[in-house]
């Protein structure tokens, strides 16, 4: 995934347990994303991030052996820390699931990748990456375990920013194509997207002739936006080096009103259903 138009998403705190079998035999869309995920040793894209991934897995497995320290590091209740510790202890052997199916929550529920047809799933697998605090950049169709680690987690030793910022920034700077950056600020702090990125701000009219940023509901809008691109021939046909004007025009064609703010930023209005 080192070239082409790329959509960059944040992860979600909430995750689905298990592997691909959790979807059952009647889930062709899930299966079409999951061939690589059947092999727990399957490699992820961006191999330059491998050493940091391995380091973090080791740290998380070790931390999971001390429930009190884990609760403090992740700001969890004792009950939730016990659940998440079980996940993290199993990181090296846990079943894998394509990243876009592993994550749940508002954004990923709106994207609803498991309901997409094979063509839309292929587009997701080739054009969508997720910025994980544990794995760094991963393709939407690439296999990951369920885990607990987020942008604001405080682990022993180096901070997540110290571990990730240069690796992620270097990878995104080297990417040969436009990057549509839909990450939250916390994940942008773990690695800049580079000069060829376009940040999308999700907004709505404020009722007084201006606009305001959406907070909670921006996640739903982002999920719906990525789904709209995946299911549309126009969305799937975006060229690798698409500029902000062409991108805004295409978003309009798939059901979203968007306007350029600068060459590297756009505003996209959430659909009425998002905050109805």
| Average confidence score pLDDT of the chain | 90
- C-alpha torsion sign, points 64, 66, 70, 71: positive
Instruction: Kindly indicate the confidence band of residue 67, based on its pLDDT and cuts at 50, 70 and 90.
Output: confident
Q: What token pair was written down for 66?
A: 């001390």
User: For 37-51, 53-67, 196-210, 237-251, which range has the lowest pLDDT when averaged over its residues?
Assistant: 37-51
Separation CA 84–CA 82 (nearest Å): 6
| Confidence band for 23, pLDDT divided at 50, 70 and 90 | very low
Tens digit of each residue's pLDDT (9 = 90 or more) over 178-206: 999 999 999 999 999 989 999 999 999 87
Is the residue at 47 inside a domain? yes
- Over range 95-124, report the average pLDDT: 94
- pLDDT level of residue 103 (50, 70, 90 thresholds): very high
Helix (H, G, I), strand (E, B) or coil at 259: strand
Provide mean pLDDT across the span 82-87. 91
pLDDT at 192: 96
Neighbours of 195 (CB within 10 A): 10
Provide mean pLDDT across the span 232-260.
97
How distant, in Å, are the alpha carbons of 64, 67, 103, 187, 206 from that of 71? 9, 6, 21, 22, 39
pLDDT at 275: 45
Q: What is the mean pLDDT of residues 255-269?
A: 97
For residue 28, tell me if it sits in a domain. no
Distance CA 258, CA 218 (A): 14
Instruction: Supply the DSSP string of 46-72, one letter for each residue.
Output: -GGGHHHHHHHHHHHHHHTT-HHHHHH
Q: Which of 116, 152, 106 has the alpha carbon at shortest distance from 14?
A: 106
The predicted pLDDT at position 49 comes to 96
- Is residue 253, in this structure, part of any structural domain at all? yes
Its pTM stands at: 0.91
- 39: DSSP letter: S
Residue 106 belongs to domain spanning: 6-22+38-275
Task: Please determine, for residue 19, whether its predicted confidence score (pLDDT) is greater than 90.
Answer: no
State how many domains the chain has: 1
Residue 218 has pLDDT above 90, yes or no: yes
Is residue 1 a part of any domain in this protein? Answer: no
What is the average pLDDT across 68-82? 89
Distance between CA atoms of residues 113 and 223, nearest Å? 10
- Residue 116 covered by a domain: yes
Within 8 A by CB and 6+ apart from 75, the residues are none
Predicted pLDDT of residue 25: 44
Q: Is residue 135 part of a domain?
A: yes
Per-residue model confidence as pLDDT tens digits over 24-50: 444 555 566 655 445 444 578 999 999
Task: Tell me what pLDDT residue 20 has.
Answer: 65
Q: Which of 10-14, 56-60, 115-119 has the lowest mean pLDDT?
A: 115-119
For residue 133, being part of any structural domain is answered with yes
Alpha carbon distances (Å) from 178 to 71, 131, 133, 157, 196? 39, 16, 22, 34, 5
Q: Quick check: is 224 in a domain?
A: yes
């Amino acid at each position: 995934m080192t070239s082409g138009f790329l959509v960059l998403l944040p992860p979600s705190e909430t995750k689905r347990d298990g592997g691909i079998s959790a979807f059952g035999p009647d889930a062709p869309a899930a299966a079409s994303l999951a061939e690589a995920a059947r092999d727990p040793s399957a490699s992820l894209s961006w191999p330059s991030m491998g050493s940091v991934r391995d380091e973090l897995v080791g740290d998380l497995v070790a931390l999971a052996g001390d429930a009190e320290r884990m609760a403090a590091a992740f700001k969890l209740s004792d009950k939730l820390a016990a659940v998440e510790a079980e996940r993290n202890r199993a990181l090296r052997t846990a079943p894998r699931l394509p990243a876009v199916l592993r994550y749940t929550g508002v954004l990923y529920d709106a994207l609803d990748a498991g309901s997409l047809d094979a063509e839309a799933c292929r587009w997701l697998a080739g054009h969508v990456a997720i910025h994980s605090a544990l794995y760094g950049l991963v393709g939407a169709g690439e296999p990951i375990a369920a885990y607990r680690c987020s942008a604001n987690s405080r682990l022993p030793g180096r901070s997540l920013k110290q571990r990730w910022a240069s690796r992620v920034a270097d990878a995104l700077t080297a990417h040969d194509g436009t990057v549509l950056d839909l990450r939250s600020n916390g994940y942008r702090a773990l690695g800049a997207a580079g000069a060829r990125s376009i940040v999308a701000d999700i907004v709505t009219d404020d009722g007084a002739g201006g606009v305001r940023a959406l907070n909670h509901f921006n996640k739903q809008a982002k999920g719906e936006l990525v789904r709209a691109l995946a299911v549309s021939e126009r969305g799937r046909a975006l060229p690798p080096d698409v500029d902000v004007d062409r991108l805004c025009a295409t978003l309009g064609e798939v059901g979203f009103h968007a306007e350029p703010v600068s060459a590297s930023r756009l505003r996209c209005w959430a659909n009425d259903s998002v905050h109805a």
